[in-house]
């Protein structure tokens, strides 16, 4: 019998200035094969990763923002987003992509993946993990 552990991937950096965000997403996709309880946290500049309307064509970069919408296929269905980090940056939930996952056990009903939490709530989420990986 294998023990399922709770893994949290913490994202605190904006998407294109450094490679952290893209690497984190890749690690999550690869790590998803190990059947653990995986969730992601977005705080500080990390919330910028989830904004909609990213268009990297002219900048000559790979736009990996659509890949967040594939996470549900990989059973990564909990994306915690910190309210204070959104507020500080003048963002609301409407500025973020609509990310959903299909619940196979509920006739493939589409359910939202983004869970907005307060800073204190985020601290609770972090304290509830077996493993915290930061990017």
Partner 1 sequence: MATLHTVNKSPFQNQTLISCLGHVKDGDSVLLMEDGVYGAMTGNAMSEVVAGMGANVKLFVLGADVSARGIDAGRVAEGITSVNYEEFVGMAASCDRVQNWL
Partner 2 sequence: MAAYDVNGTTVEHDEEGYITNLSEWTKELADVISKAENVDMGEEHWAVVNFLRDYYEEYQIAPAVRVLIKSIKKSMGPEVGNNKYMYELFPYGPAKQACKIAGLPKPTGCV
Residues that bind partner 2 (CB under 8 A): 26, 29-30, 32-33, 62-64, 66-67, 69-70, 73-74, 108
* 3-state DSSP assignment of residue 40: strand
Burial of 24 (0-12, 13-18, 19+ CB in 10 A): buried
Burial of 46 (0-12, 13-18, 19+ CB in 10 A): buried
Minimum distance, C-beta of residue 92 to partner 1, in the bound complex (Å)? 21
Minimum distance, C-beta of residue 97 to partner 2, in the bound complex (Å)? 12
CB nearer to partner 2: pick between 9 and 83: 9
Give the interface with partner 1 as residue ranges (CB under 8 A): 10, 12, 20, 43-44, 119, 122-124, 126-127, 129-132, 134-135
């Amino acid at each position: 019998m294998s023990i399922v552990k709770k893994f949290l991937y913490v994202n605190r950096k904006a998407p294109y200035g450094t490679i952290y965000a893209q690497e984190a997403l890749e690690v999550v996709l690869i790590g998803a094969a190990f059947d653990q309880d995986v969730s992601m946290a977005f705080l500080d500049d990390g919330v910028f990763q989830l904004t909609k309307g990213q268009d990297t064509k002219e900048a000559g970069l790979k736009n990996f923002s659509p890949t967040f919408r594939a996470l549900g296929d990989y059973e990564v269905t909990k994306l915690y987003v910190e309210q204070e980090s959104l507020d500080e940056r003048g963002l609301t939930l409407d500025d973020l992509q609509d990310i959903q996952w299909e619940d196979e056990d509920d006739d493939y009903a589409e359910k939202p993946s983004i869970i907005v939490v307060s800073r204190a709530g985020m601290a609770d989420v972090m304290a509830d993990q077996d493993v915290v990986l930061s990017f």
